[in-house]
Amino acid sequence: MQTLQSLQYEELHSHYNRYLSPFLPYSSNDRYTDRILLPESIGSGSISRTRLRPGMEVIMADFQIKDDYTMQLRSVLPMVDLTFWIQGYIEILHSGIQEQISPGLGHLTFGLEQQLELKYAAGMPIAICEIRLSTALFDELMDELGHARYSSALILAGRENLIFHQSILPKVQAILQDLRSHPFAGPMRKMFLEGKTLELALWLQQTLFEDEVPAQRGRIRLRKEDIARVREACGILEKRMEQPPSLLELSKLAGISDSKLKAGFKELFGTTVFGYLKEKRLDKAKELLEMERINVCEAALMVGYSNPSHFAASFRERFGCNPSEWIIESQRL
């Protein structure tokens, strides 16, 4: 039986071939990867697409067009698209908004329906790495990261599409270099690419939630009133751990800028805002399991985990045992 993810996986595949139809046919390097060599009449270079886990694919393009070329794209497939522009300038018309894309920029796009126009200049070397996720897989990954309330539907909040922009950080540049220059082939290539692709979830998490303050901004000095505001933010998180506010909402509630809030958590607690919340959630869950005599699923839901297996994995990582084992142990005391 096909699951929602596997259905979206096949739709991703056919959608990819549909918008690259001017460059087809393609050749298959192996059963996971399709590779297109641009015909000489159009330009030079290649575009490869590798199917990873169901609902996930990575596309790497490195090419040059002979003449100015405009590509029309239209998608009615809900998806999350993470694109890193490595080399070359491209003009994009996205949902009526015109912008020029320059190297060193990352785009995170959520879309139920999208219409794009991409303009490639003649002779311009282009290098792009694109990761495409089904919305079902995105929601699953967010749950694993502890951000279950940030489903694709909640992020879109009734909009057709939404784009986040962020510069490509040095650690992300290193991952992209690994993706582009690895020596592997066949199944090992697929495993390597999937691992590196999941590493980029760190970039995604920073983009949506709590990007660390870039080093070039220098150290942020915290005054006594700033520290008091950070502690107030702690109290808000602990009271609302089941449905915590976003970082920007939390900073507004506490009356402090988001940059000072992040710096304050690092200075006072040695962790990020999300890291602090995760610790407090697990501490509260441990207390509930010990004192309230409730089951594991109930404890997970009460502290904000919608997936009991992810809760169990986090609990085990923090305390060295499964929550069910902790219940048995606490009953002996």
pLDDT at 129: 93
Segment 202-228 shows an average pLDDT of 59
Question: pLDDT band for position 149 (50/70/90)?
Answer: low
Each residue's pLDDT tens digit, 12-71: 555 555 555 555 555 555 678 888 888 888 889 988 888 888 888 999 999 998 998 888
Predicted model pTM: 0.58
Segment 87-108 shows an average pLDDT of 79
Token output for 254: 């506490």
Question: What single string gives the DSSP state of each residue in 192-246?
Answer: HHHHHHHHTHHHHHIIIIIPPPPGGG-PPPPPHHHHHHHHHHHHHHHHTTTSPPP
pLDDT at 7: 39
Token output for 274: 């999300």
Under 8 Å between Cβ of 311 and 285? yes
Segment 97-116 shows an average pLDDT of 77
Q: Please, what is the Cα angle at 77 between 60 and 13, to 5 degrees?
A: 45
What span, in angstroms and rounded, lies between the C-alpha atoms of 263 and 228?
A: 13
Give the 3-state secondary structure of residue 1.
coil
Mean pLDDT in the chain?
78
pLDDT at 5: 40
Each residue's pLDDT tens digit, 153-185: 777 767 777 777 777 877 888 889 988 888 888
What span, in angstroms and rounded, lies between the C-alpha atoms of 219 and 191?
A: 39
Amino acid making up residue 2: Q
* Burial class (CB within 10 angstroms; exposed 0-12, middle 13-18, buried 19+) of 162: middle
Segment 236-259 shows an average pLDDT of 85
What span, in angstroms and rounded, lies between the C-alpha atoms of 94 and 71?
A: 12
Under 8 Å between Cβ of 113 and 161? yes
pLDDT at 10: 47
What's the distance, CA 42 to chain centroid? Answer: 33
